[in-house]
Chain A
Amino acid sequence: MSEGIANITTTDRGYLTEKGFWSWAYTLDHKRIGVMYLCTTLLFFLVGGVLGLLIRLKLMYPGEQLLSNHAYNVIFTLHGAMMIFLFIIPGIPAGLGNFFIPLLIGARDVAFPRLNILSYWIFVGGILVVLGTLVSPMDTGWTFYTPYSAKTGAAVTALSLGLFLIGMASILTGLNFIVTIHKLRAPGMSWNRLPLFIWGMYATSIINVLATPVIGITFLLLAAERLFGVAFFDPAKGGDPLLFQHFFWFYSHPVVYVMILPAMGIISEIIPVFSRKPIFGYWAIAYSSLAIAFIGFLVWGHHMFVSGMSTVAGVIFSFLTFFVAIPTGVKVFNWIATMYRGSISLDSPMLYALTFIFLFIIGGLTGPFLGALATDVRLHDTYFLVAHFHYTMMGGTVMGLFAGLHYWFPKMTGKMLSEKLAKIAWAFIFIGFNVTFFTMFILGMKGMPRRWAEYPPQLQSLHIVSTVGSWILAAGVAIMFINFIRALRVGEPAPANPWRALTLEWQIPSPPHTENFEEIPVINDWPYSYGKKTGAKDA
């Protein structure tokens, strides 16, 4: 334990020792719950990915080829809804967050372990209801705009209730994390020694707790409109469809920061470890997470520039939107400054972390094109938006998740991944991703509207390029999952600290024991003293 920030010993047995379905279903162990969340969300990542491939396949040809228009509407709706609600939103927070928040702050578990398992089963219940709606599948797009969603024959009511349950699970998890971070930090783990992943998760949890109830009530109102004919969104009764959009984006804009902030937290952990340098600008990164969470609540109207909202509101929202770029830029500059003159090793977690920065810069810089009122009128609802969104969400969040998975896989499973396979997978993913989605920027500039099955023949060549890219991307993801499965079966045993990292989770065995720490550690340093004698620097 020469390199750690605290001396830790433990004699307990590994958390994976106990076997059998019930030992998982009833578990109160945050690590097991995290693993269950991770497996569930990754499953829907694969399902949503296959749906995405189908969308791309269909778009190789304009019009009703391969799929009927209705089937196409259903598939892009399911792709969006599954990826957003069943994968990206819960993926990092409930999966990696559950597993690592207590470990990183030196706690034995989250504050409310029973609430934690309850929220997992509420999540599963919500998923079952959502899957039940497949008997009459959704064709509204994942945004469920009224008045169409109030009138379509698809199972919107059931879907609303399913998503309400999933939202409830998000709220309970967020609440659990907030209390855990406030109340269960190990002695000496002051706020200025808190790992940056925790700061990211803290900001995320605040958004989850404050924004999710609003989408909850929105779904309830939508269901009530269909069941009882309440008037909120129905213009014939004096209601206002724009109110639905305001409610929807009041949640759904902040929630993109629920998706990205945990990923940024992961990157903030990985960059210093693989650069062997202390993190640059600790407070700037920590506070920028809170700033993003705060500003994120004030910009929802930029989704509605062409909705018929007043121009004054549009100008104000456009103005406010640019403020989000500031804390985001602060983070990127600090990561780069951390790497400057560092001793960088390109292991797979770092490779994905760098990919995150590269792709997220592209995704981030195309944001102002859409946030600026004037250009958005031209680009709104085109493939430019689809490309921007996928660069931030897949290039950002999903790459952050992949970075985190490669970084923490040895800790979670006690097995090492094959670096060679990981790098091959990375190459496919990097090339495939850019071919698929950069093409969409061009398609969008040429005026290709989002969600259309039909397009003029001169756009076909670009669509074909994008589709071929999606196959390369899929091959990369397949190799990555093969690597995971291979490592679980025949991977080499992982040492406690393969990356020579300083945060607490690496000071205990891989995989961790059920109680995490034999004795709660006493923290005497921040976790970023790389390249220096330990204890030399405090925040």
Chain B
Amino acid sequence: MPDEHLQHGESPETVFAAAKLGLWTFLATEILLFGGLFTAYIVFRLRYPDLFHAQYQNLNRTLGLVNTLILITSSLTMALGIAAIRRGRQWMSRVCITLTILFALGFLGVKYVEWTEDFSRGLFPGTNMFFSLYFMMTGLHGLHVFAGISVLIVILVMSCQGRFSEQYATPVEITGLYWHFVDLVWIYLFPLLYLVG
């Protein structure tokens, strides 16, 4: 939702406040999008506790933990990137954004290894209710990580063009908000799927 365009003469403060409110509203819609899946999780977890207990053991907890650490670290680098541009430290900011992108790619890489492992063991979205939830939840989350990477690349390019400064870093800040949200969803998914036993 970055919209730095000032054709109508609004003050930079208004533009920043609008962008921020816009992104928070967007995050509310995201919560409801994932909310459908969390609702389904609650419904079926209560209905089939034994199935969930039996099936979660098929997941690779080590890789899940590694991915959790990767994402938390990426949130840290993102926050550092924002802090850097706020102090006008262009290069520091670019390095942090690049690190965030690399961590995000690493997350998707680990996810790819996990899914391949699942498929090779005959675990598919249609296998049972637990794996329907697992694949839909991690899949939708993965799509959000992918979207995040795309936006971060755009932000990196804009940063290299010198579009941001101490005075103006709205796109970086709201991308950061979005990225923390993606991280936060995973913080819920990890225990619900990998640690339910």
Contact = CB atoms under 8 A, between A and B. Distances in A.
Contact of B32 (A210, A229, A243): A210
A28 B43 CA distance: 44
A209 B43 contact: no
Interface in A181-198: 182-184
Nearest to B22: A179
Interface centre among B17, B29, B47, B128 (most CB of A within 10 A): B29
Given A171-B29, A175-B22, A230-B132, A115 B40 contact: no
B129 A182 contact: no
Contacts of A209: 25, 28-29
A232 B28 contact: no
A115 B2 CA distance: 9
A3 interface: no
Given A112-B1, A228-B135, A230-B132, A212 B8 contact: no
A221 B136 contact: yes
A220 B40 CA distance: 13
Contacts of B154: none
A231 B129 contact: yes
A459 to B, nearest CB: 41
Nearest to B143: A220
Contact of B29 (A176, A213, A230, A237): A213
A342 interface: no
Interface in B163-187: none
B136 A238 contact: no
A269 interface: no
A266 interface: no
Given A108-B8, A111-B18, A238 B128 contact: yes
Interface string B64-81: 000000000000000000
- For chain B, what secondary structure do more than half of its interface residues adopt (helix, strand, loop), or is it mixed? helix
A203 to B, nearest CB: 14
B136 A230 contact: yes
A183 B140 CA distance: 32
Interface centre among B22, B26, B37, B44 (most CB of A within 10 A): B22
Interface centre among A175, A214, A243, A515 (most CB of B within 10 A): A175
Given A183-B14, A214-B35, A230-B136, A237 B22 contact: no
A294 interface: no
A228 B35 CA distance: 21
A183 B14 CA distance: 7
Contacts of B35: 213-214, 217
B195 interface: no
A224 interface: yes
Given A213-B32, A217-B36, A179 B18 contact: yes
Contacts of B33: 213-214, 216-217
B37 A217 contact: yes
Contact of B18 (A171, A184, A231): A184
Contacts of B7: 28, 113
A221 B34 CA distance: 12
A229 B125 contact: yes
A176 B28 CA distance: 14
A115 B140 contact: no
Contacts, number: 113
B63 interface: no
Contacts of B22: 111-112, 115, 175-176, 179
B129 A183 contact: no
A263 B132 CA distance: 41
B158 to A, nearest CB: 15
Given A229-B125, A229-B126, A230-B132, A114 B36 contact: no
A213 B43 CA distance: 19
B48 interface: yes
A389 B13 CA distance: 45
Interface in B27-67: 28-30, 32-37, 39-40, 43-44, 47-48, 51
A109 interface: yes
A239 B127 CA distance: 12
- For chain A, what secondary structure do more than half of its interface residues adopt (helix, strand, loop), or is it mixed? helix
Contacts of A183: 14, 17-18, 21
A228 B135 CA distance: 10
Contact of A232 (B1, B17, B25, B40): B40
A289 interface: no
Interface string A431-462: 00000000000000000000000000000000
Contacts of B121: none
Given A111-B22, A224-B125, A230 B32 contact: no
A176 to B, nearest CB: 8
A238 B125 contact: no
A92 B32 CA distance: 24
Contact of A112 (B3, B14, B47): B3
Interface in A110-153: 111-115
B25 to A, nearest CB: 5
Interface string A231-264: 1100001111001000100000000000000000
B124 interface: yes
A243 B133 CA distance: 14
A247 B35 CA distance: 11
A204 interface: no
A179 B25 contact: yes
Given A182-B21, A231-B129, A232-B132, A240 B43 contact: yes
A243 B43 contact: yes
Contacts of A175: 1, 22, 25-26, 29
A31 to B, nearest CB: 13
Interface centre among B10, B14, B18, B32 (most CB of A within 10 A): B32
A106 B7 CA distance: 16
Interface centre among A115, A211, A217, A243 (most CB of B within 10 A): A217
A238 B45 CA distance: 11
A216 B36 CA distance: 9
A218 interface: yes
B129 A237 contact: yes
25 contacts: A107-B8, A108-B9, A111-B18, A112-B1, A175-B1, A175-B26, A178-B25, A179-B18, A179-B21, A184-B14, A210-B29, A214-B36, A217-B37, A220-B136, A220-B140, A224-B125, A228-B124, A228-B135, A229-B124, A230-B136, A231-B126, A231-B132, A237-B126, A237-B129, A515-B8
8 tightest Cβ-Cβ pairs between the two chains A and B: A229-B126, A217-B36, A230-B132, A213-B32, A213-B33, A108-B8, A228-B125, A231-B132
Given A209-B25, A229-B124, A230-B125, 9 more contacts: A178-B21, A179-B25, A183-B14, A209-B29, A217-B37, A230-B135, A231-B126, A231-B132, A237-B132
